[in-house]
Each structure stands twice: as C-alpha cells, then as structure tokens.
Structure 1
Amino acid sequence: MKIAAYGFAEDQGKKLGRILKLSRTNPYCLVDFDPNSLPDLLLVFGEEQFQQPPIAELPPSFQSRLILVGKKKPTTTDRPHIGYPLISSRVLSALDRLTSANEEFFQQETTAEIKEQDNQYEKYVEQAVQQQNQPQAEESAKSTGYRVLVVDDSVPMQKALAIELKSQFDQIEIEFADEGLQALDMVQQNHYDFIFLDIMMPGIDGFETCTRMRKIEGLKKLPIIMLSSKTSPLDEVKGIMSGSSTYLTKPIDSAEFQKVMGRITKWIDNFASE
C-alpha cells in the first residue's frame, strides 16, 4: 500500500519510511507525493497545509484518505490525526484504522464482479437445495433449539446459510439483518445463540459491527462467525481484533461449515452447562 507525505522535514520523512517498514499487518511503503498519481493514503504535516493548492485541489473523493500529522489536534473532528513526534505504534495503528475505513478503495469490485458473485451464490443455493433433497447415506448428529442471526445484505447468501443451517439442525430459528445498525438493534432486543456477520455491508462494516457487539453486556462471549468473499489473511486478522470467534469464506463449503458448526455448538453446549 502506497503512503505519501506532504510538508514533512527531510529527517521526519526518512523516519516515517522506517516506521512503515515495521508493519506486520499491511505492506506499507513510502512514495513521493504526485497529484497526478495519487497514493493510497496521504499524510499531511500541519493543518495549515490543507489550504495549500496541492492539497486543497485534491478531488473530494480523496479527502477521506488524508491524515493530519501534528502536535495540535485538528479543528474538525472528522479528520484523522496522528500526534507528533512520530511514534511507531501510533502511526501504524492510525494507518490500519483508516485502511479499514476505506476498504472500498483498496478492494474495489466492479459491477461485473459483483454480478458474477451473485450468480455464484445463486448456483450455490441451487446446488444446496438439490443436495438437501437427495437421500443421505449417513446423517451427522443434529443439535436442536438454536436461535441464529444472519447479518448479510445478499439475499442469495441468506438463503444459502439458511439451507446449511436447516440441514444440520432439527430445530433452528433464523432471523436476518441487511446491515450493521439493524443487527445492533436486534441483538439488544433478542437473544441469539450465535451470529453470522458479513464483512462488506452498506453502512458500518462487519468489523465495526462486531466491535460494537462485543461492548454489549451478554455478547462478550457469544460466537460470532465472520463471512467474507475474499480469502484475505488481513480480513482474518481484522476479524480477530474486532472480536470475531472464527471466519468462513463465501460461498460456503458444506464440509468446512459443518466443522465450524461442530466447534461452535460444542462450545455453546459446554458454556450453557457451566
């Protein structure tokens, strides 16, 4: 990920470059600032620099990727800020947070890709229905009596998870939420045994939703399974940091799904008996 700096003294620019190399979660590298070839993130030293033409003339869509560096806090609360002098942990933590907030810039999906993903989910649902209707040579032991919340804005994915859950559990109640804020309202009004939580959703993403859920009394130990269409180690690390219990890649693999559910339900049963 390309990071540029504007308004830094030469020695501080070199120090910033050394700090970026210390990151273990994101591959940051320091590049020269070029308005015609914008970096992924831009660190600006001093709030007065935002009035200078090179920064003031940047496109509005790039403004959310600007970070103020300085001793004084920004006059507006919506601008990310890194205190000065530069401290490695402080710098990397701020960059990681902004990277997560701007994930749509770094993991862009074209309309064609989204359509193809939906097609894959539809095919997956059809296959799951066919498998469900076929006689099984050997049925796995089924658990009963669970209430589940599925948080995902994809209707095909909601259907796919419902099929998987109903094929594994004799009695299960499934509720759905299309986005994070709706899910937060639901978990405060209802009891769930475990939650499936998509990462990429309208509004607040799955990471932020999970973080907020963990702050709610009674949800600190609730199993939360994060869902992602990308097999990214970074997503897994972010999920763990936000409080997720485990991680599944979409479309769901039935064998892997059963393994995860086996671990989750075993933990729930043991926890409930204590």
Structure 2
Amino acid sequence: MQIGSIGFPEDQRVKLEKIFKLSKQTRYTLVDPDFDNLPDLMLVFGFDLDEHPELANLPSGYHSRLILVGRGRPHDKSYTCLGYPLVSSRVLRTLDSVTRENEEMECATPQTDEENRFSKYDDISPEAETLPSSRSGFNVLVVDDNEIMQQALDAELQLLPLPVSVHFAATGEEALEKVAAHSYDFIFLDVVMPGIDGFETCAEMRKHPDLKKTPIIMLTSKTSPMDEVKGIMSGCSTYLTKPIEHEEFQKVISRVSNWVDEFQKA
C-alpha cells in the first residue's frame, strides 16, 4: 500500500520509512506525492490544511484518505489523526486500523489495483456522460435487505435511457451466489446486512476474475473516513449515501454506465 506524505521535515520522512519497514510483510511504502496518481493514503504534517496549498485541488472523495499528524486533536474531527512525535507502534496501529487490522496481504493486492480505486468515476469528464451507448441494456444486482431501498433503487435505475434488468439479494451470501451464476454490469451493495457485511462481500466478489472491473457501489446511511478506507480496502468503486438522492444517484450511475461502455467491452 502506497502512503504519501505532505509537509514532513526530512528527518521525520526518514523515520517514517524506517517505521514502515517494521510493518508485518512490509505492507506500507512511503512515496512522494503524485497528484496525477494519488497514493492510497496521505499523511499530512499539521492540522491546518490551509498550510498545504497543494491539497486544495484534491478530489472531494480523497479527503477521507488523509491522516493528519500533530500534537493534540484537530478541530475537524472528521479526519483520522496520528499523534506526534511519531512512535512506531502508534503509527503502524493507526494505519492498520484504517486498513482493516490484521488483514492478509493477499486480500490487499487486488484491492489497491488501479482499476478498483475508490471514486474513480469522479475523474470522468462531464462530456463522457453524454457518450452514445453501443449496448442494448444493463444487468444490475442490488444487494440490500430493505425492500423499500430495493424498490427505490429499481425506480431510479428504470430512469436510465436503456433497459435495465435488476436482480435482488438480501444478504451477502445470496449476493455471492448470484454473481457466481449471472453476469452483472454493476452492483449496488449495502454495507450493513445480516450475515457477512458489505465490506466482506465486496472483498469476496473481487476474488472472481470476471468481477475485477465490475463497478461496485457501496450503499451506506452515513460515511466516515474509517468506512471509506474500509471500502477502498475491500475493493468498492464508490459510495452512495442513503436515503438515495435523485440527482446524486443519476450523476453517479451515468458515469458508471459510461465507464462500463468504455472499459468493459473487451
């Protein structure tokens, strides 16, 4: 997993590199920040983001990947923070906590693949939303144990300009059976369900070669930095917050459907 850093004194960057080498299986790698190809997580030195103008143009969804490093607590408690001075055990424990503690490396490998980056659809240009489609329709799986939510999603999907065939599953286990038996263009997956949760279900789906590029949209009643990082690690593509808002849903689904057309033809 690539970890970027912003604003760190050189001696503290060297210390971070040494700390990362202590991680089990060397799962963390410190990299120079590349704003054209953002790392999986970003450590920011200090609690005042205004002191780092390079962060001003980050995609809104990426802010959940920032970990602020400083003394005390930041005013904005929506960010994950890490105490300073840096202590090896505390640094690794914090990183592990936001990337699913004790997660096996073989699960992390496909989840950090460029094709499964969180909110990749945010970078699709507005012009792409109007591209003509060469397909006749979409096959969609909705995984949610709430029938009202199933109906709401079905109603929104039927507003797409192409026919949509929707299958439903109420549990993660049922969803895994569905994807084993059918091919889907994209999947909506609730986080909280009876049995295995959405994160585990998503991770299991990503183990299927045929689902490597399939957009998986996580559904949640609220998002937190922890939830969104868990989504990254499990392999989800983006989030939608419940209750579903019509404009946001149509914006996301338009981009997702065009991504399917452009990149999944092969």
TM-score, with length taken from structure 1 = 0.51
Q: Does 1:163 find its partner at 2:165?
A: no
Displacement of 1:232: 2.5
Q: Does 1:152 find its partner at 2:144?
A: yes
- 1:178 alignment counterpart: 170
User: Equivalent of 1:91, from 90, 93, 111?
Assistant: 93
Identity %: 50
Post-superposition Cα deviations, 1:231-254, rounded to whole Å, max 9, x if no partner, equal 423322221221111111111111
- 1:5 alignment counterpart: none
- 2:51 alignment counterpart: none
CA change 1:177–1:28 in 2 (3 A) is: farther
CA change 1:178–1:169 in 2 (3 A) is: farther
Displacement of 1:99: 11
Distance in 1 between the 2:97 and 2:223 partners?
Answer: 22
TM-score, with length taken from structure 2 = 0.52
Q: Does 1:258 find its partner at 2:250?
A: yes
Distance in 2 between the 1:203 and 1:178 partners?
Answer: 10
Amino acid paired to 1:160: A
Q: Which runs of 5+ in 2 are unaligned?
A: 1-44, 46-65, 68-78, 104-131
Distance in 1 between the 2:169 and 2:81 partners?
Answer: 34
Distance in 2 between the 1:210 and 1:174 partners?
Answer: 18
Displacement of 1:260: 0.6
Post-superposition Cα deviations, 1:87-107, rounded to whole Å, max 9, x if no partner, equal 44543355443699xxxxxxx
Distance in 1 between the 2:183 and 2:200 partners?
Answer: 20
Distance in 1 between the 2:102 and 2:155 partners?
Answer: 34
Which structure would you say has the larger RCO, counting Cα contacts within 8 Å and 6 or more residues apart? Answer: 2
- 1:195 alignment counterpart: 187
**8 Å contact from structure 1 (residues 193, 222) kept in 2:** yes
Distance in 2 between the 1:248 and 1:99 partners?
Answer: 27
- 1:270 alignment counterpart: 262
Q: Which runs of 5+ in 1 are unaligned?
A: 1-21, 30-85, 101-140
Q: Does 1:243 find its partner at 2:245?
A: no
Post-superposition Cα deviations, 1:188-223, rounded to whole Å, max 9, x if no partner, equal 111000000011111111111111111111111100
RMSD, matched Cα: 3.0
**8 Å contact from structure 1 (residues 144, 169) kept in 2:** no
CA change 1:150–1:94 in 2 (3 A) is: same
